[in-house]
Amino acid sequence: MDTYADLVECEDVLLFANAAITATGQREFHSAGYEQRLSLDFLHRYIQGNYPDVYALTLALDINDHNAAMIIRNLLREPGSGDGALIAWRLARMSPPRVYRLFRELRRDGVNNRRTRAIIREWLAGRQDLAFDAVKYRSAVKAAVRHAHLTLEGELGDFLFAPRSRPRFDTPILDVWRRAHYEKAALYELPYTVAEGFAARHGISREVFLERIAPRLTRLERLRLAESAGKDGVDTGADLAAMPLVRVASYVLSLPSATREERRAELVGALRAAAGRAAGSRRGTWGSVAAVLDDSFSSFGSPVKRRRPLAVALACHYLLEALAARYRGLWVSGRADPLLARPSGPSPLGQRVLDALEHRPDQLVIVSDGWDNAPPGLAAEVLRVWRRRLDPAGEVSIVHLNPVYDAGQFDVRRLSPMVPTAGIRDAEDLPALVELAKFAEGRSGLTELRAYLGDRAARR
Say whether pLDDT at 437 is over 60: yes
> Cα(213)–Cα(194) distance, rounded to whole angstroms?
11
- Residue of 370, 363, 329 whose CA lies nearest to 349: 370
> Cα(173)–Cα(214) distance, rounded to whole angstroms?
18
Confidence of residue 438 (pLDDT cuts 50, 70, 90): low
> Cα(239)–Cα(219) distance, rounded to whole angstroms?
7
Domain ranges of the chain: 180-235, 247-444
Contact by Cβ (8 Å): 91, 123: yes
Say whether pLDDT at 352 is over 70: yes
Task: Give me the chain's average pLDDT, please.
Answer: 90
Confidence of residue 269 (pLDDT cuts 50, 70, 90): very high
Q: Span 125-144, mean pLDDT?
A: 95
- Residue of 39, 18, 16 whose CA lies nearest to 401: 18
Q: Measured in whole angstroms, how far is the alpha carbon of residue 425 from the centre of its chain?
A: 5
Q: For position 373, what pLDDT does the model report?
A: 86
Q: How many other β-carbons are positioned within 10 Å of the β-carbon of residue 167?
A: 6
DSSP 83-118: -HHHHHHHHHHS-HHHHHHHHHHHHHTT---HHHHH
Lowest average pLDDT, out of 68-77, 257-266, 449-458, goes to 449-458
More confident residue, 446 or 351: 351
Q: Span 298-322, mean pLDDT?
A: 96
Residues whose CB falls within 8 Å of the CB of residue 280, separated by 6 or more in sequence, listed in order: none
- To 10 degrees, the CA torsion angle through 387, 390, 392, 396? -70
Confidence of residue 445 (pLDDT cuts 50, 70, 90): low
Q: For position 297, what pLDDT does the model report?
A: 95
Confidence of residue 72 (pLDDT cuts 50, 70, 90): very high
Lowest average pLDDT, out of 1-5, 179-183, 293-297, 306-310, goes to 1-5
Of the chain, the percentage scoring pLDDT greater than 70 comes to 92
DSSP 165-218: G-S--SSHHHHHHHHTTT-GGGGGGS-HHHHHHHHHHHT--HHHHHHHHGGG--
Q: For position 228, what pLDDT does the model report?
A: 64
Confidence of residue 232 (pLDDT cuts 50, 70, 90): low
The DSSP symbol for 404 reads S
Say whether pLDDT at 261 is over 60: yes
Lowest average pLDDT, out of 40-49, 55-64, 132-141, 284-293, goes to 55-64
Say whether pLDDT at 406 is over 60: yes
Q: Span 266-293, mean pLDDT?
A: 95
Q: Is 376 helix (H, G, I), strand (E, B) or coil?
A: strand
Confidence of residue 237 (pLDDT cuts 50, 70, 90): low
Q: For position 256, what pLDDT does the model report?
A: 93
Q: For position 249, what pLDDT does the model report?
A: 96
Contact by Cβ (8 Å): 164, 186: no
> Cα(216)–Cα(85) distance, rounded to whole angstroms?
34
Q: How far lies 331's CA from each of 156, 297, 343, in Å? A: 55, 12, 11
Contact by Cβ (8 Å): 72, 102: yes
- Residue of 130, 57, 114 whose CA lies nearest to 90: 57
Say whether pLDDT at 419 is over 70: yes
CA geometry: angle 408, 414, 417, nearest 5 deg: 125
Q: Span 96-105, mean pLDDT?
A: 96
Lowest average pLDDT, out of 2-11, 158-167, 201-210, 337-346, goes to 2-11
CATH number of 247-444: 3.40.50
